[in-house]
Structure 1
Amino acid sequence: MSDDILLARAFLNRVAEPACVPLWKLVRDVGPVEAVRMIRAERVVDEVAQATAGRRLTADPEADLEAAARHGLRLVVPESDEWPHFAMSALEQAALERLHEWEHGQKTQSPSGEPIPPLALWVTGPADLASLGVRSVGIVGARSATRYGEQVAMDLAHGLTRRGFAVVSGGAYGIDAAAHRGALAAGGTTVLISAGGLDSPYPPSHAGLYERAAATGLVVSESPPGSTPQRRRFLTRNRLIATLATGTVVVEASLRSGASNTAGHCRRIQRPLMAVPGPVTSPVSAGCHALINADVQPARLITGVADVLALIGSSSDVPIGDPAHEVSADDLRARLDLLDDVSRSVFDGFRAGRAVSCDELAVSSGVSTLDVIRSLPALQLAGLVEGDDGRFRIARAVPRGSRRAGVGSK
């Protein structure tokens, strides 16, 4: 792949908002390098001229690539070996259908996001982007998630990761974060797809989560460095979650939500869609119930890992590794390093040989009871803590010599 193509893709990635139908058509017709020449020379159809007018003179691909290098990012383009061609094939097909509609007069861009493949992706992390879509699962849901929803998301992510699936989500509060942490606690691969530039994680408090995802998995964005998250970018980002996952599970969602938007993208590209039921009184489960009860393309009802495997994997899939083996001191440090600071503080509050209540643990760890309750699922999924009738203790698999506070501290 030539530098000219990389620079052209960087320019195209900056000059218009993601999922721009007429710009994608132009690049498809003439290629990226010629498309850039035509835009700069103002020799394009009106729709492309309007989409690129605001940034045509200011887009600076060299500056974007330099900024990416400073932040450890790389630009992956369709001409490179790392491009996920298999995953993108369904989106390509949907894009061709949309292009047919466009050419027959339906030229209003949907505010919910168009099924148009990205022109390039900004990426960091060591995992194999090209293989995504083969054995990966999207787990999405409400930002204002309940404890039930977060627990389900973590359980699903943990169990599926141990069966060799990559977990794809959007890095937001609530269900997204729980899914990423469940995958990380299992020592597997998680793919975080951001709506903004990767030089500034969003939300800022999830910077540590971005770092942990990038350490073993991938962090991906369609937006170049310096781009701020905007509502439209969240909605267009959601089509990438649907595309890069073999199938997607909605854990909790209101009737009008980002997770429901992701479900719409799954349906458009014919990806398997699943949803977790919740209490009938819970507004954050109303969207899941609507997806399950839909007259057309209903979501498959999911109650656990086996249901997901029955649809996109195999019920004979065997977990990777044996969770019963004893945890070494090095393994303990590694597991704790995957957790957030609050969860590590909670672990440090345990005393060997004693089962304690959440209130007692709050006192000994110096965090609130609510933070203790939120942290315990991650510690349990990491195999570090076990529960017993409302009380909790350090897991028996953790060796006594490593159970002192501070083993995993930084």
Structure 2
Amino acid sequence: MVEAAAQDDERRLAWVYLSRVVEGPCAALSALIESVGVVEAARAVRECELPESLRGPTALRRESDCAARDMDSIRRMGGRVVTPDDPEWPAWRMLGLAQLEAGRDRDGAVPLVLWVRGPGSLLAWSERAVAVVGARCSTGYGDQVAGEIAGDLATQGWTIVSGAAFGIDVMAHRAALAVGGATIAVLACGVDRPYPAQHERLLDEIADAGLVVSEYPPGTVARKHQFLARNRLIAALADGVLVVEAGLRSGARNTVKWARRLGRPALAVPGPVTSAASVGCHRMIRDGEAVLVTRAEEVIDEAGPLRLSLPGAAGRTADPTDTLIGDSAAIYAALPAIGSRLPVALAEQTTLPLSVVRACLTELELAGLIGTGDTGWYRIRRPG
């Protein structure tokens, strides 16, 4: 028992050490951990027994082991570190990130750990969640719509995920808190560093009733590139991404990019055609990057779980595939009634990116609609 506890502590310290060494996503380090295990990977980093791809990213901080200090820091503020070894780790949410093509985007890797403040379970609270993002310089119209939709979603048991920024983000968080709902703030800095500073009180409120999450160790300050990396976690922790107001070059469009790559639905609220704050939403809707929605019920229709029954369908058994939409519907339709297909063949047949195909296959498998074997993925036959 004592030996097992010591091994657990060794693994946790190894995760925390590596998290500090790279401070953010690092696909090469994730691959090393997958290959040799976290404890051996930590030893290799300390002793610089590394492939060339890891020497540069680990050079700056590998000689400084702050793991014990970081653990003390997070405990003092009433928080915790969640590693892939922990039951609270949202493993199935991270599947999409794990399946992204290596090398396509340096920020696309699975986080090594997640630093968390708040009483909720990260696993449980991300089971049914919608990301609500948008313009920092939002209008009164955008604030009202974001508050109404986020509040309605939270009332119906959906967790609201956002980035605690000015504008739409803060309206979404406050709306969830106002109705006693669940909300998760994902930061691009340490969870002990309120950013923006004006939202220190809001983040404390979220930490008291919800969750404040970051992949960056305590004390890490916010830097520009970290916001783009943070956006993938906002998308990954939710069933869909809703954009309420976005300029043409809004950072919210970056979150939509991650949602599409992860196979999550992207949704956008239209605004006045004369409003510069809605140009990005209109462009995404016009280009087919996002589905137009105007209220919470429409968001749930797009991002909600597969329904096993249909209203008014008495006298017959509903087909769960009737509610498939978007990329998932295309992938399911491409699978043969008899036989199987590999992801590469499905990508060619549907013209969807391979990463999207893999993410959709995982979702369809979790829904009990398909299975996988030696020859690829296949439909699961249902009685009748």
Name which of 146, 155, 160 aligns with 1:167.
160
Structure 2: stretches of 5+ with no match in the other structure: 308-384
* 1:308 paired to 2:299: yes
> What residue is the counterpart of 1:263 in the other structure?
256
Give, in angstroms, the shift of residue 86 of structure 1: 2.0
**Could you say what secondary structure the match of 2:72 adopts?**
helix
Contact kept in structure 1, 2:11 and 2:39, CA below 8 Å: yes
Pair 141,59 (structure 1): closer, same or farther in 2 beyond 3 Å: farther
Secondary structure of the structure 2 residue equivalent to 1:281: coil
TM (norm. structure 1) is: 0.71
2:44 matched to 1:38?
yes
Moved more, 125-134 or 272-281: 125-134
Q: Distance in 2 between matches of 1:314 and 1:90?
A: 17
TM (normalized to structure 2)? 0.76
Does residue 225 (structure 1) correspond to residue 218 (structure 2)? The answer is yes
Q: What SS class does the counterpart of residue 116 from structure 2 fall into? A: strand
Per-residue CA distance 1:37-74 (angstroms, 9 max, x = gap):
00111110111110010111124111111111121120
CA contact (8 A) 1:195 1:221 kept: yes
| Counterpart among 31, 34, 50 of residue 28 in structure 1 | 34
Separation in structure 2 between the aligned mates of residue 314 and residue 26 of structure 1, nearest angstrom = 35
1:353-378 residue CA offsets vs partner (Å, 9 max, x unmatched): xxxxxxxxxxxxxxxxxxxxxxxxxx
Shift of 1:257: 2.1
Find the aligned partners of 1:62 and 1:20 in 2 and give their Cα distance. 22
Task: Describe the SS at the equivalent of 1:81.
Answer: coil
Which residue type is aligned with residue 266 of structure 2?
L
Structure 1: gaps spanning 5 or more residues = 317-410
Q: Are 2:91 and 1:67 equivalent residues in the alignment? A: no
Give the counterpart of 2:200 among 207, 218, 226. 207
Amino acid at match of 2:28: P
For 1:314 and 1:4, the matched residues in 2 are separated by: 38
SS at match of 1:234: helix
Of the candidates 272, 281, 284, which is equivalent to residue 291 of structure 1?
Answer: 284
Matches within 5 A, 1:98-177: 98-99=101-102, 102=103, 110=106, 114-177=107-170
State the secondary structure of the residue aligned to 2:160: strand
Paired residues of 2:126 and 2:159 also in contact (CA < 8 A):
no
Distance 1:33 1:284, change over 3 A: same
| Alpha-carbon separation, structure 2, partners of 1:264 and 1:313 | 20
Q: 1:115-171, CA deviations, whole angstroms, 9 ceiling, x for partnerless residues?
A: 211000000111121124431100001111111111111111100001000000000
Task: Give the secondary-structure state (helix, strand or coil) at the position aligned to 1:138.
Answer: strand
* Aligned residue pairs, count: 301
The residue matched to 1:5 in structure 2 has which SS? helix
Post-superposition CA distance 1:194-218 (Å, at most 9, x none): 1111112111111111111111211
Partner secondary structure for residue 99 of structure 2: helix
Where does structure 1 differ by over 3 angstroms across 4 or more consecutive aligned residues? none
1:252-401, aligned counterparts within 5 Å? 252-295=245-288, 298-313=289-304
SS of 1:271's equivalent in the other structure is coil
State yes or no: 1:92 paired with 2:98: yes
Amino acid at match of 2:293: I
Equivalent residues of 2:184, 2:212 under 8 A apart? yes
Per-residue CA deviations over 1:359-403 (Å, capped at 9, x if unaligned) read: xxxxxxxxxxxxxxxxxxxxxxxxxxxxxxxxxxxxxxxxxxxxx
SS of equivalent to 2:45: helix
Deviation at 1:309, TM superposition (A): 1.4
CA distance in 1, matches of 2:38, 2:145: 43
- 8 Å contact from structure 1 (residues 309, 315) kept in 2: no
Asked whether the equivalents of residues 97 and 262 of structure 2 are also in contact (C-alpha less than 8 Å), the reply is: yes
Q: How far 1:315 sits from its partner (Å)?
A: 12
- What amino acid does structure 2 have at the position aligned with 1:222? E
